[in-house]
Amino acid sequence: MTEETDLIVNDLGVRRPRQRNRVQTVPQGESLTKQADLKNANIHSILRRAQKTGLLPSKNVNPLPPDTPSPDSYHDALNLVTSINSQFENLPVDIRQKFQNDPAQLLAAAKNPENHAMLYELGFQNFEPVSEEAPAPAEQEVESVKDSTAEST
């Protein structure tokens, strides 16, 4: 066995081939290795069980759920997330701070119709506030049908 003084090192600090320092780690105290799996991890017991049953052990892995996106849609999803992040970063600082610099909070606010007036005030033109005074278009249509039937009779 060679000692550290016998090692030949070049100018870059690299040892010659097949020269190494053997290191041994001695655990201090109780071992942290889980001993409960000793029997199942022993190759001899695995092979003995395989000879008896004729089956090698297999991994118990749950399959992917059916709604997992395909690689194409995953790529599209990453592109969408990247696009949303870059659009959010282009917003003024005060608007980003209202949403704690988190685009997910902005998207959550956009889904809630109660926030549309606030978003319109911030400058998002596609979120026009819905006025509660004006009746909905369906109600106007029903009233006009009632008026036209009343006039015709």
- Name the band, by pLDDT with cuts 50, 70 and 90, for residue 129: low
What pTM was computed for the model?
Answer: 0.38
User: How far is Cα 102 from Cα 127, in angstroms, rounded to an integer?
Assistant: 19
Domain ranges of the chain: 71-122
DSSP structure string for 112-130: SGGGHHHHHHHT-TT-PPP
Can you give the pLDDT at residue 90? Answer: 84
Token couple for 128: 């026009």
Closest Cα to residue 115, out of 95, 135, 136? 95
**Higher-scoring residue by pLDDT: 92, 61:** 92
Distance between CA atoms of 8 and 133, rounded to whole angstroms? 91
Q: What's the CA gap between 58 and 49, in Å, rounded?
A: 13
